[in-house]
Structure 1
C-alpha cells in the first residue's frame, strides 16, 4: 500500500492555488465585514448532539463520529457550520436581543461526497442573519450571496428559488406520517413521478393532486400563478407563494430567476425560503441558502434565521491568479550578518529567501539579490 495516497474525494491544495484560495477567502470575509457581519471561528470537532439533531437524518449521515477519550461521549467532525453558528447565537451571544449578523470560513468533512465532482472536505464560507423574520432579511442574504460570487469572478448567474413551507403545509394538512413525509420529500427532489404517485395513492384530495402537481411547478415567475390555481389554499401555501412573489419583484432585472416548488434540497432544519445560485459551466449549484427559523431551540434560544454558504473549492478554477511576486535571494553564508536587513525588508513586504545550496534564481523564484557592500547592504537585480 502506498502510504502517500489520499482517501477518495480528498485532495491537497498546492502552493499557487492555495494562495489564490486564501486571497479569495479574505476578500469574501472582507465583503461580509463591510456589510456588518462579524466573524466567528467554531471548532472543527465537538459533541455530536450539538452538530446534528434527530430530525436531520441527511446531516447525521454526513457526519464522521468518534469517541472522546476524555469525556467518554460521542463527538463528531462538523459536516456543516450552520448548526455551530446557531449554537453561538443562542448560547454564547444570548444576551443580544436585536439582529445579529455572523460569518465564517472553515473546512467541513463529509462521510460521502455530495456529487461526483465534490470534495469530502469542502471549504465552507457563509453568512447568517439572526433575529428578523421579514423577507427583507432573506433578500439581504441573497444579495450578499450574489455579490460574493460576482466578486469572485462568476458571471451569468441564475437563481433557483423554492419554499419549504409549501410542501410542509400540504404534508401536515394531508396528515402524512413522519416516515411517509420523509420518503415523499426525497422523491419530490428528484421529481420521481412514479414513486410520488405510489406514495400518495391513499392520500385524500385535494392533497393528493397537490403532491402530483408540485414536480410540474417549475420555471419562470408565471409558475407562481399556476401554483395558486393548482394547490390548496392553506396558510403555509399562501405565505410561501407571497414570499416567492416578493423575491421575484425585488430581484427583477438583477439576476435570472427560476422557481421550483420541489427545490427542497436544504437540510431538514430549513423551514422557509430556499435558494441556490447556478452559472453556466458548473453542473452543481455554486452557493445555497435559505431560512431556518428556530434551529437554535435545541440550544435554548429559538430565533428567526436565514443564511447562505458556498464551497470555495468549487471556485478554484476561476479564482484570479495572484501576481507572481519574485523575491530577493540572500546567500546562506551572509545570513548571520544580514539578519537586521532581512528583517527590515520582510517588514516592508519583500520576500527574502535564504539560499543554502547555491540554487538558481528561477528555482528560488527570485529576481534580485541582497549583497554586502562594506558595512551596508544593497539589493541588486540579476542580469
Structure 2
C-alpha cells in the first residue's frame, strides 16, 4: 500500500478528535453517574470472548450473529467473537459470574464492533452505553427502564422534541400461534410489517388463517382503539394477546404520567430484533435522525445459555451518536519554562481550577503549541492568565 494511503481507516470507523472527544467523555461520565444514582452498578466486560459465550443472543438473533466479527484464538485454536453488543456479556455476569438473588441492576459503557453498519450513517464501532435489569418480569420493571432511558437522554440535553415509540412482540407472536402459521409465513408477515407494505399485506393475508386480524394488526398498529374494534372475538379473548395488549396500554399510561409533555407513539408491528425480544419494546427518535437515539426492550430467559434463565429488560445507545455535531474548543494554557517557586505555584493553581496547562520545553515558544488558547504571564510580579 502506498504511504499516502496508510492513514486511511475502514469504512464506518473514525477517529474522535479532541474537540469532540472531550464532549463524549464528559457525557459518558455524566451518564454513568446518573445510572449509578438510580442503582445501576457499573461493570466492564472483555472486548473479545469465546464465541459460545456470545451465542446466547446470536442463537435467537441472526442479525447479531451476522454483526459479530469472528477470529481464531492463536493460543487455544478456538473461535472467538468480538463483542457486537454488551447485553449477552452482562447476562453472563448475572447468570454465572455474579448470580445474586433478587433484582440485579447493571450499567456499562464500552466500544463494540459491527461487521456492517447497523443503520443509515451509523458507526461500525459505536461507543455503547446502556443498562440492564434482571430478575423481575413486571410492567413496573419495563416502566423503570423506559424512564431511566429517557432521563439519560435528558442528561445529554436531548429530550426536547423526541418521540418515544412503544411496541410489544407478544401481539404478533400470540396471533401467529393462534393461527398456527409456519416459520416461513411468519417471516413473510414480519417483513411486510417492517416495510409497512399495507397493499401487499392485504393481498397476502387473504389466504392465511386469521387473515383479517393480521391485516388489522398492520393497518391499525398505532391506534389501539381502532385495532380492538377490528379484531375478531377469538383474538381479543386470547389470554396471551390480551396480556400483551394490556402491557402496552399500561406502560403508555404510566410513562405519560411521568412525562406529561413527551410525544409517545405506539407501533405494535415494529418488530426489529423480533426473535430476540420477548415482550415490550421501546425506542426514542429525534427529528432529522434516521436511527433511534436509544432503544431497548424485554428479553426474558437470556441467561438460559449460561444455566440461569431470568426475566430481563434493558436499553442501550451510542454515545457518539448522542454527541453528533457537538464540539468544544479545548482551552490550553501555555506556561513559560522554569522551576521558580511562584511559577510552579501558579501552574498548580491553574490546574487545580480544571485548566489544561502546558509548560514550554527547551527553547520553544508559543508557536510550539499551535492549539494554545491562553498563556501564563507575569504582570507586576504576579502570574496572570491571558487570552492569546
The alignment status of 1:359 with 2:366, answered yes or no, reads yes
Q: Could you tell me whether the CA contact under 8 Å between 2:164 and 2:264 is conserved in 1?
A: yes
- Per-residue deviation, residues 231-268 of structure 1 (Å, max 9, x unmatched): 71322211110101101211233522211111111353
Query: Equivalent residues in 2 for 1:266-345 (5 A)?
Result: 266=273, 268-317=275-324, 319=326, 322=328, 326-332=331-337, 334=338, 341=345
CA distance in 2: counterparts of 1:275 and 1:45, whole angstroms: 28
Q: Could you say if the C-alpha distance between residues 224 and 32 of structure 1 is closer, same or farther in structure 2, counting changes exceeding 3 Å?
A: farther
State which of 66, 71, 74 in structure 2 corresponds to 1:61. 66
Q: Could you say if the C-alpha distance between residues 15 and 326 of structure 1 is closer, same or farther in structure 2, counting changes exceeding 3 Å?
A: closer
CA distance in 2: counterparts of 1:251 and 1:157, whole angstroms: 14
Query: Equivalent residues in 2 for 1:125-140 (5 A)?
Result: 125-140=129-144
Q: Could you tell me whether the CA contact under 8 Å between 1:353 and 1:364 is conserved in 2?
A: no
Residue of structure 2 equivalent to 1:379: 383
Q: SS state of the match for residue 247, structure 2?
A: helix
Shift of 1:210: 2.4
- Per-residue deviation, residues 58-104 of structure 1 (Å, max 9, x unmatched): 1111111111111111111111111111111111111x111111111
CA distance in 1: counterparts of 2:179 and 2:196, whole angstroms: 19
Q: Could you tell me whether the CA contact under 8 Å between 2:169 and 2:274 is conserved in 1?
A: no
Q: Could you say if the C-alpha distance between residues 59 and 103 of structure 1 is closer, same or farther in structure 2, counting changes exceeding 3 Å?
A: same
Query: Equivalent residues in 2 for 1:216-295 (5 A)?
Result: 216-223=219-226, 225-226=228-229, 232=235, 233-252=237-256, 253-266=260-273, 268-295=275-302
Shift of 1:178: 3.3
CA distance in 2: counterparts of 1:183 and 1:61, whole angstroms: 20
State which of 82, 85, 93 in structure 1 corresponds to 2:90. 85
Shift of 1:365: 2.0
The alignment status of 1:17 with 2:20, answered yes or no, reads yes
Q: Could you say if the C-alpha distance between residues 230 and 121 of structure 1 is closer, same or farther in structure 2, counting changes exceeding 3 Å?
A: farther
Q: Could you tell me whether the CA contact under 8 Å between 2:40 and 2:106 is conserved in 1?
A: yes
The alignment status of 1:150 with 2:154, answered yes or no, reads yes
Q: Could you tell me whether the CA contact under 8 Å between 2:96 and 2:308 is conserved in 1?
A: yes
Q: SS state of the match for residue 10, structure 1?
A: coil
Residue of structure 2 equivalent to 1:186: 191
Deviates most, 354-363 or 127-136: 354-363
Residue of structure 1 equivalent to 2:182: 177
Residue of structure 2 equivalent to 1:36: 39
Gaps of 5+ in 2: none
CA distance in 2: counterparts of 1:361 and 1:3, whole angstroms: 26
Q: Could you tell me whether the CA contact under 8 Å between 1:153 and 1:318 is conserved in 2?
A: no
- Aligned residues: CA RMSD: 2.9
Gaps of 5+ in 1: none
Q: SS state of the match for residue 217, structure 2?
A: helix
CA distance in 2: counterparts of 1:32 and 1:234, whole angstroms: 38
Q: SS state of the match for residue 34, structure 2?
A: helix
Q: Could you tell me whether the CA contact under 8 Å between 1:107 and 1:123 is conserved in 2?
A: yes
CA distance in 1: counterparts of 2:41 and 2:291, whole angstroms: 29
The alignment status of 1:211 with 2:214, answered yes or no, reads yes
How high is the TM-score relative to the length of structure 1? 0.88
CA distance in 2: counterparts of 1:347 and 1:248, whole angstroms: 47
How high is the TM-score relative to the length of structure 2? 0.87
Q: Could you tell me whether the CA contact under 8 Å between 1:90 and 1:301 is conserved in 2?
A: yes
Shift of 1:176: 2.9
Shift of 1:226: 3.8
Deviates most, 299-308 or 224-233: 224-233
Equivalenced residue count is 374
CA distance in 1: counterparts of 2:378 and 2:131, whole angstroms: 49
- Per-residue deviation, residues 15-41 of structure 1 (Å, max 9, x unmatched): 110000010111111111101100011
- Per-residue deviation, residues 182-223 of structure 1 (Å, max 9, x unmatched): 34323322223465567656533x2x3322222212334534
Q: SS state of the match for residue 43, structure 1?
A: coil
Residue of structure 2 equivalent to 1:161: 166
